Amino acid sequence: MADLSDAKRRIIEMLKRADSATAQELAEQFNTTTTAVRQHLDALEHSGLVERFEGPIVGRGRPAIRWRTTSLSQELFPDRHGELTVELLGSIRATLGDDALQQVIDRRAADQLAGYSAALVGQPVSVRVRMLADRRSEEGYLAEVVVDEEDLVLIEHHCPICVAATACQGLCRSELEVFRAVLGPEVVVTREQHVLSGDTRCSYRISPVAATA
């Protein structure tokens, strides 16, 4: 929450703890004016970090406006998903061995292939590549497709599994095999850039088989 003022940070933290609160309740908690709190809440709402809703009606009159955090505010708090994944991979390797870890990776790859194939089946290669990029972007890879003469280049500008892939490079190998399987035998897929090799992104060149003969 480095980009937030101290007051806005405290409001977010309080709403996180309390589930929801009115501007007056927050003002009483922070010993400030309701007007000042509302100004912060309006700014946080504009940023998509909090939202207002009508609370239950108590007595006569209109229901009170209450405030709560949004799913976007989750990004402001520590996230150990990457560390947890690494710990789980290490535990699988230590407890069950490398073969068991490979089985887990293979299972993930099979699920990926099934999911991608269901969406891309029957499409021309060029369409499959672009649809694959869209799917990968939905998964957080910030992917795009660039045309390079007869080739297509799938570029992923972000790797949401980088921490896990660093600890278990079999994840990257399996994803390359998934791409090759889902794009079919008409093309050759070659990884040209790799984050784990020191590049700033991962990229995959997709060439027609005839062009590589």
- The one-digit pLDDT tens for each residue of the chain (213 residues) are 446 888 998 999 899 888 899 999 999 999 999 999 999 999 999 999 999 998 877 666 678 899 999 888 877 876 666 777 888 888 888 899 989 888 988 998 999 999 998 888 888 999 999 999 999 999 888 899 999 999 999 999 888 888 788 888 888 889 999 999 999 999 999 999 998 888 888 999 999 987 544
Q: Which helix (H) or strand (E) holds 104?
A: helix 98-120
Contacts of the segment 52-59: beta carbons below 8 A, 24+ positions apart: 53/20, 55/20, 55/22
Residue ranges of domains in the chain, CATH in brackets: 6-76 (1.10.10.10), 81-212 (3.30.1380)
Q: Which is nearest to 4 in space by CA: 55, 43, 31, 54?
A: 43
Both tokens of 142, joined, read 């910030």
pTM, full prediction: 0.62
